[in-house]
Structure 1
């Protein structure tokens, strides 16, 4: 593992993606997507519904069960001016997303605000809501303009903030789709196993799974495990610096149950569903390393994974350290943050394979794929481009087994 092996020029991770290859809408059937299987340098074309026949024996799939919230809130001033508030990161009553979504009176979030200059300090914005039986008023006010901290209150404590945004908000589609969300996106830009509210972008590798596919996988002996990483808007942030190492990596919140830790320990072949699951699993490994070195903080920094390459524990030892620590402290769920920045030169410590879509040129996600395929990403992407695969969030899938 050597940070010096990382590309120092972003042009090495750029390819030509024609606009017409970007999937603007999902296919009618989730599992009818094409599946590119890359195994030991060889490529095979398949269909996602058949993924079970392509998985190695004794595989455990790790799914990110985060749920996308309708994070785009639209208010009108008395003058008619439209103010859009995009929820980014909770601040009060807690920074833990699950606790904020359960709040029933007031919350504060760091936000992006459209038309912010027309919203003056001291002015409140109000939005009338109705769930079919009850009228509710949602009020927004500026708590800190420079840091874009916005407070929200509502006048019915029978409703959680999760329920309020469900009534008030719109699904935040990726910017490269260049379209507004429609009703179908509420279901389709969500995995069938989504459960924990808090993401502002979907873990899109999971969009191809159906209940039928999951049932068939279970019947074929494929194990499943769930963890949570609340995908932030930073996942779409393009790398704008020449040297990728200088990119300001976004921080994302994770919540991991003890069962998932045990599942890693007992797994022979670990395959994350999506880059977010992969980043969570690799971050957990480094938390285990911290614990073995007497550091109990679970806040993985952007480049710390490149600072220590000697005498590192095996996967099982690291995760056993986490399990022992949880048992000792009677902790059932880990809450942590990660900025982990995986790029060429990184040695993967947990993951044996990866299920993922096809990513934007020059993105942090493509850097991760390049790291996992040890530079062979162009072979995979050229094949996908030459064989009419659909790209990005609503596009086709790949199973990578280097």
Structure 2
């Protein structure tokens, strides 16, 4: 399949620049895979579709203030560093700008020297491996020096950084939010539990690999970056018990979906584990565990468009997106939601 098979023209006015005041007031486009029909609801109406005994799986990763501004030792030119992946022992894979100022061996300074770093190497894809030096706790230093790494298509300032976190975020480590979960409120989560729905949590620390533009014309030539995931024993038991009792598995977001499909065996069973996934899901993929998917609206020609096209069909997805644009849904991170049923 070609990258261009997943292109659509989106008016810029439909790119949401800020979150709605009430998280679950966003619109919900419901796509029924049985016949391709589309209905237009609000996110809180999700309660009508999830049935007692079902299990909803959420990604509880928390976005860190991953954007740092510093400069090279002895220089004044600002250098932006975006933390992508924690490699351990202070070593991070990062994006830097301008890249020409961050060659191997360059020493960096942030926040009057309370954080310093060394560029260890330049990766083939242009990312940098940077080793940070500091006293104390790294995440506490990031809280002082870093800022929230909002996507480049969001031009307006975010007054409350918590609006780029899910209400159930717990495990720090993501460079971008698992945005499908931004629509949930504590009240909606409580209502789901009261209805008899199991709530389960995995962790996938979202890097930018999931969102990296597909440059190759043939989508099978695209290489995904790896992201770290965790599934604990309680979540594995909830998922397996749900399946054994005839319940359905709902993935809240493409990150939860990718994590589940990475872990599941051919029969759809999962077990506690952690590791790195570079799974790339596109049409032709056979889903092993996910029955229903809640997701936001994605960028044209992105790997996420390819994933949801695998979950339904490309034709269903492109028609649903055409209707969403016609109905002036809000798109991307702070936009409206979609349920593929």
- Same-fold status (TM-score > 0.5): yes
| Mapped contact 2:287–2:311 kept (Cα < 8 A) | yes
| Corresponding position of 1:126 | 109
Alignment partner for residue 48 of structure 1, among 37, 43, 51? 43
> 5+ residue gaps in structure 2?
none
CA shift, 1:227, in A, is 0.3
TM-score normalised by the chain length of structure 2: 0.91
The structure-2 alpha-carbon separation of the partners of 1:58 and 1:121, relative to structure 1 and needing over 3 Å to count, comes to closer
Q: Alignment partner for residue 158 of structure 2, among 182, 194, 206?
A: 182
What does residue 383 of structure 1 align with?
Answer: 323
How many angstroms does 1:176 deviate by? 2.4
Please state how far the C-alpha of 1:123 moved relative to its aligned partner: 5.4
CA 1:9 to 1:124, structure 2 compared with 1: closer, same or farther past 3 Å?
closer
| Secondary structure of 2:9 counterpart | coil
* Structure 1 runs not aligned, ≥5 long: 1-7, 94-106, 130-135, 289-312, 323-332
2:308 corresponds in structure 1 to 369
Rounded Cα–Cα distance in structure 2 between residues aligned with 1:87 and 1:52: 37
Residue aligning to 1:61 = 56
Aligned equivalents of 1:374 and 1:145: distance in 2? 39
Q: 1:191 deviation in Å?
A: 0.4
> What is residue 110 of structure 1 aligned with on the other side?
93
* Distance in 2, Cα, partners of 1:181 & 1:246: 36
Query: Is 1:284–2:263 an aligned residue pair?
Result: yes
Q: Is the 8 A contact 1:174 1:236 kept in 2?
A: no
How many angstroms apart in 2 are the aligned matches of 1:359 and 1:265? Answer: 30
Q: Deviations over 1:208-264 (max 9, x none)?
A: 001111111111112100001111111221111111000111211101101111111
Contact 1:173-1:181 within 8 A present in 2 as well: no
- Report the CA distance shift for 1:18/1:125 in structure 2 as closer, same or farther (over 3 A): same
Kept in 2, the 8 Å contact 1:67–1:202? The answer is: yes
- Pick aligned residue for 1:23 from 12, 16, 19: 16
Alignment of 1:64-75 (within 5 A): 64-75=59-70
Q: 1:234 pairs with 174, 190, 209, which one?
A: 209
Q: In 2, are the aligned partners of 1:141 and 1:151 still within 8 Å (CA)?
A: yes
Distance in 1 (CA, whole Å) between partners of 2:28 and 2:158 is: 26
Q: Which has the larger radius of gyration?
A: 1
How far, CA to CA, are the matches of 2:103 and 2:323 in structure 1? 52
Residue-by-residue CA offset, 1:90-133 (whole Å, 9 max, x unaligned):
2232xxxxxxxxxxxxx12121221343357665433337xxxx
